[in-house]
Amino acid sequence: MAGLKIRAAILSVLFLAVFLGAWQLATAPPGATERELTEYEIMMGLGAGSGAGMPAPTEVFGLAWEELSRPFHDSGPNDKGIGLQLMYSVGRVLAGFALAVVVAVPIGFVIGMSPVLNNALNPYIQILKPISPLAWMPLALFTIKDAATSAIFVIFICSIWPMLVNTAFGVASVKRDWLNVARTLELSSLRTALFVILPAAAPTILTGMRISIGISWLVIVAAEMLVGGTGIGYYVWNEWNNLDIAAVIFAIIMIGVVGMLLDAALAQAGRFLRYQE
Amino acid sequence: MSLHFIEVENLARTFPQPGRQPPLTVFEHVNFTIEKGEFICVIGHSGCGKSTILNILAGLDAASEGAFVMDGKEVSGPSRDRGVIFQNHSLLPWLSALGNVSFAVRARWPEWSRRQVREHSLSYLKMVGLAGAEHKKPSELSGGMRQRVGIARAFAIEPKLLLMDEPFGALDALTRGVIQDELLEIWGRTHQTVFMITHDVDEAILLADRVMLMTNGPDARIAESVVIDIPRPRDRSAIHQHPEYYTIRNHLVDFLITRSKSLQGRVGGPGQQPRSVNPVRGTGVPDPGGTPRVVGGTG
């Protein structure tokens, strides 16, 4: 199996090299002098002005190095470090996500335990679930009147549904045998919920959380483009307004990396809660 | 008046049928008594409702008619004074073997200290031969070991009545034999009152003081209560050499093959106890020649 892993790793690196090589070749300027000029212009923030188009990977890496060497600098609203911007975004996602956990897990629990409530609420959940979270934005801005809080609300509203549905499903499909064990031991409803149903449904609930945090991270970028001020979404939009395509590409890569880390963190948590029958 | 430890009177269970069909009576007129410390096995074909009877005794199902009196008190709903060993072990898969047993022990004696719970649980795990495997999860244990944890869990809460629903049905023959021996040994020490359902005639003879035989369902009844008076302690490897073994065995097998069907819906009645049979002494044995004698034409 180790051989398989090594071969896969070699192939991975090879793909990357081919991709970067192709990118470099495609964006390479015809002349060496012009290339130097382009770099100079990028340093001055005028790069795209020359009509050079897409930046080469070397430019993106140069910018990445520069940005990552001082990730938390703050020189006014238009020049904040990438680390700082990501922290704003992750903070909003975690706030909205935590709120959604607090609301969705208990409600999902009740829905899962009561088939009547499940059937009664199901039509509303089915209608609310497919609504793009950004559609809530005007309503949020109108009622909350605060842009930052509105962004958190949008995260909350988009991450609540997968958790609600998964919690209800996990709770409803707890094995009858396990509930019978609790009944023959005369456990109270609360103890049954905490010590039998919750651990039995935990892996399903966590799957819902993982879906939710993935969607939240997708949505926060768009939400921050609308709301502005801070965050990685705002950073992307701001750099687009500056026509700094290298910075946009760099931000895109960082969004991917952070999203992967968020997902990995929840996957790791899931490993603790998973059980094998 | 009630001098028996357990009295079951006129138990019946009907299930509503779809549409305008009359409700289906799985069993009715089920009357029996159990003394303290008795080991009772119930044998019957699938669909005679023996598992339903067990679930009613466990409080997991409600009878349509009749009463279940234990220790002079009518019982309804589940309770910790009745332990259940389920067919498919039903251990909680996220808890270790020790966790599963102490989960039940803690529920039984909430006032106990952590150490007391642990020591009590460990002693029962040791009794079923699982010392050293107490930290393993059910998924890491073999089928036989899982069922042993289930047995330890049920015995550990020291119930007044232990209910077992085909506890060894899912095990291979070799493992089953070993665990039967262990169960016999534990029972010899604790003299727990046991009500056990089985498909296995040999298992019933090995374990039981009395075997209750059920006719086929629907409208199943308990037709006979067969006394197994092979002396204890019994040894699985030698029991079939006992002179009375095949007399009893033939009687039971004969019932399952012919009388369970021919007596369907024709024995027993309100308040009527099953016919007590001792095949060795020849008391209560139906007419030879296989013709079923209808008992209880009073109703």
One-letter amino acid for residue B291 of the chain: T
Q: Is residue A63 part of a domain?
A: no
Closest CA to B236 of B159, B169, B178, B170: B178
Residue A147 sits in a domain whose CATH number is: 1.10.3720.10
| pLDDT per position as a tens digit, B72-118 | 888 888 888 899 998 888 899 999 999 999 999 999 999 999 999 99
Q: Which residues of B touch A191 (CB under 8 A)?
A: 107
Helix, strand, coil % in chain B, rounded to nearest 5:
35, 20, 45
**pLDDT score of A50:** 44
> Which three-class secondary structure string do you get for A239-277?
HHHCCCHHHHHHHHHHHHHHHHHHHHHHHHHHHHHCCCC
- Alpha carbon of residue A260 to chain centroid: 8
From the list B60, B108, B138, the residue facing A183 with the nearest CB is B60
| pLDDT per position as a tens digit, B5-54 | 999 999 999 998 888 888 889 999 999 999 999 999 999 998 888 999 99
Number of domain units in chain A: 1
CA distance B136 to chain A (A): 12
Bridge partners (DSSP) of residue B12 are: B65
Return d(Cα A18, Cα A4) in angstroms, integer.
21
Say whether A187 and B107 touch across the interface (CB within 8 A).
Answer: yes
Return d(Cα B53, Cα B55) in angstroms, integer.
5
Q: Is residue A32 part of a domain?
A: no
Q: Is residue A208 part of a domain?
A: yes
Would you tell me how many other CB atoms lie within 10 Å of the CB of residue A129? 13
| pLDDT per position as a tens digit, B146-202 | 999 999 999 899 899 999 999 888 888 888 888 888 888 888 888 889 999 998 999
Return d(Cα B49, Cα B45) in angstroms, integer.
9
Q: Is residue A268 part of a domain?
A: yes
ipTM of the complex: 0.84
Q: What does the pLDDT average to over B57-82?
A: 89
One-letter amino acid for residue A223 of the chain: A
Say if residues A76 and A84 touch (Cβ distance below 8 Å).
no
Name the residue range of residue A139's domain: 82-273
Closest CA to B281 of B238, B231, B226: B226
Delimit the domains of chain B by residue range: 1-73+210-299
Q: Copy the structure tokens of residue B252.
A: 């039971």
Q: Is residue A64 part of a domain?
A: no
Say whether B88 and A277 touch across the interface (CB within 8 A).
Answer: no
CA distance B81 to chain A (A): 9
Q: Is residue A42 part of a domain?
A: no
CA distance B83 to chain A (A): 7
| Dihedral, CA of residue B281, residue B282, residue B284 and residue B287, to nearest 10 | 180
Interhelix angle A232-241/A245-273, rounded to 10 degrees, is: 170
Q: Is residue A187 part of a domain?
A: yes
Q: Is residue A51 part of a domain?
A: no
